[in-house]
């Protein structure tokens, strides 16, 4: 659902064969029906926390379509709580999905792409991977880690003709917040006036980034401004977020 479904649809609309994965088999089949193009889309159950699930999905995809040109790491959820109060088990579980699941998937798909002569890995990160969010610190940490891994892997894999694209959306109008794990001490730093962009806009930016072989896409482009301000004046951004915390 959300960004993942929108990316699946925009790639399918371009004529590609798409394999859609989700922990919930019923949910991914429903998403496949909404995406359409049933003759060249496949839905599978896969939990990226389990390497055997990833290997099974990759094996079935290669068997059916003979190759994997693009792999999108989009699985993830949030944890809303303070550093002082957050549950460590919930924190570890989030890292298992948001970060370690993505790394495991990269390790599983890289040999396939090497054998076929190239490919693209797209990691869906977040602006929160550039600017740490109060009361979402652990979530930001998973995205900071994903950014670093993607940047390093891009250099490592260039000789194999494997490109790594990192996509960093800002606020997106999805059910992400409703599906986040809620801790005991949570506050919102999102301004009331910010409505966020649509998942479809993120998907369009992802497709353009893929076609242009960009290293990173920040969407909307206006989020480049706070990212750059934070890099040069972190105290100013932190002061602003402290005032916005509700």
Angstrom distance (rounded) from CA 157 to CA 117: 11
Out of 139, 171, 210, 230, pick the active-site residue.
Answer: 139
**DSSP bridge pairs for 42:** 19
Angstrom distance (rounded) from CA 150 to CA 123: 7
Q: Is 139 in the active site?
A: yes
Inter-axis angle of helices 224-232 and 234-244, nearest 10 = 120
Q: How many CA atoms lie within 13 A of 108 on its CB side?
A: 25
**Would you say 123 and 150 are in contact if contact means Cβ atoms under 8 Å apart?**
yes
Tokens 């402290």, located at residue: 242
CA of 208: how far to CAs of 73, 85, 126, 181, in Å?
A: 17, 40, 17, 32
Query: Of 192, 188, 194, 187, which Cα lies nearest the Cα of 173?
Result: 194
**Would you say 32 and 12 are in contact if contact means Cβ atoms under 8 Å apart?**
no
Just list the catalytic residues: 139
């Amino acid at each position: 659902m959300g960004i993942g479904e929108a990316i699946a649809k925009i790639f399918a609309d371009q004529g590609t064969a798409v394999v859609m994965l989700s922990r919930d088999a019923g949910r991914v089949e429903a998403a496949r029906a909404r995406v359409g193009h049933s003759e060249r889309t496949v839905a599978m159950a896969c939990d990226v926390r389990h390497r055997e699930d990833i290997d099974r999905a990759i094996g079935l995809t290669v068997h059916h379509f003979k190759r994997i040109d693009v792999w999108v790491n989009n699985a993830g959820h949030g944890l809303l709580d303070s550093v002082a109060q957050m549950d460590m088990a919930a924190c570890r579980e989030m890292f298992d999905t948001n970060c370690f699941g993505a790394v495991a998937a990269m390790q599983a798909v890289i040999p396939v792409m090497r054998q076929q002569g190239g490919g693209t890995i797209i990691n869906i990160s977040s602006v929160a991977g550039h600017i740490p969010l109060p009361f979402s610190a652990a979530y930001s940490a998973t995205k900071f880690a994903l950014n670093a891994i993607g940047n390093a892997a891009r250099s490592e894999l260039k000789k194999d003709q494997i490109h790594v694209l990192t996509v960093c959306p800002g606020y997106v109008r999805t059910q992400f917040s409703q599906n986040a794990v809620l801790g005991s001490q949570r506050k919102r730093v999102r301004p009331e006036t910010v409505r966020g962009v649509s998942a479809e806009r993120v998907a369009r930016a992802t497709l353009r980034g893929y076609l242009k072989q960009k290293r990173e896409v920040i969407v909307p482009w206006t989020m480049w401004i706070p990212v750059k301000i934070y890099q040069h004046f972190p105290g100013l951004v932190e002061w602003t977020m402290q005032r916005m915390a509700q």
